[in-house]
Amino acid sequence: MRQRVHLITLGVDNLEKVAVFYDALGWLRVPETPPPVIAYDLLGATLGLYQREVLAGDLGYMPKPGSGSVTLSCNTRDKAEVEAVLAQAQAVGGTLLRDAHEMDWGGYGGAFQDPEGHVWEVIFNPFSPLGADDSFQWAGA
């Protein structure tokens, strides 16, 4: 298997409610995506929202609602953007888990949950600055 991720799929119970949350964050749906998926193209990957029951049929087991065991991360260009993203997520129905704060390792970040409990970290990492196209690489773009 090559070292890459193309699709991040979130199993959800209320597809439209969760999609409205991501829409309100300013994300754009991929037009004409066939049901039961709602897709958002990301830089080099896609986030797919998928009805949990249908996903269970595809996978052969019923995934649990978002628990934080797997977290998604969004890196930012600076600390102010961390604050702005957390405020926006909270304003459109997300649950703030942790206010923005200085991290032990030198970064700055906080966390929120989407309406079905999927956990997002919002991080400014001064050791891995984003590329001009917003691409992220662990050791810097």
- Are 44 and 13 contained in the same domain? yes
Domain match, 53 and 78 both: no
> Which pLDDT belongs to residue 134?
87
The whole-model pTM stands at: 0.86
> Does residue 76 share a domain with residue 44?
no
In a domain, 129, yes or no: no
Residues 54 and 75 in one domain: no
- Are 58 and 11 a contacting pair, CB within 8 Å? no
59 pLDDT higher than 80: no
Averaged pLDDT score across all residues of the chain: 90
Is residue 82 in a domain?
A: yes
Q: How far is residue 122's CA from residue 70's CA, in Å, rounded to a whole number?
A: 14
Q: How far apart are CA 91 and CA 17, in angstroms?
A: 15
Please give the average per-residue pLDDT across 117-139, as a whole number.
Answer: 89
pLDDT the model gives residue 95: 95
Number of domain units in the chain: 2
Residue with tokens 């029951």: 53
- Joined together, the tokens standing for residue 83 give 């604050």
In this predicted model, what pLDDT tens digit does every residue of 11-25 receive, in sequence order?
999 999 999 999 999
Q: What is the 8-class DSSP label of residue 7?
A: E
* Model pLDDT for residues 17-58, shown as the tens digit of each residue: 999 999 999 999 999 888 889 999 998 889 999 998 888 887
Classify each residue of 81-105 as buried b or exposed e, where b means 16 or more C-beta atoms within 10 Å of its C-beta. ebbebbeebeebbbeeeeebeeeee
Residue 120 lies in a domain: yes
CATH of the domain at 103: 3.10.180.10
The residue range of the domain holding 119 is 71-124
Looking at residue 39, which CATH number applies to its domain? 3.30.720.120
Distance CA 94, CA 10 (A): 15
Secondary structure letter of residue 128 according to DSSP: S
- Tell me: do 34 and 14 sit in the same domain: yes
Residue 68: pLDDT band (50, 70, 90) is low
Tokens at 111, concatenated: 């966390």
Which band of pLDDT confidence, cut at 50, 70 and 90, is reported for residue 98?
A: very high
> Rounded mean pLDDT of 81-103?
96
DSSP 3: S
Residues 87 and 109 in one domain: yes
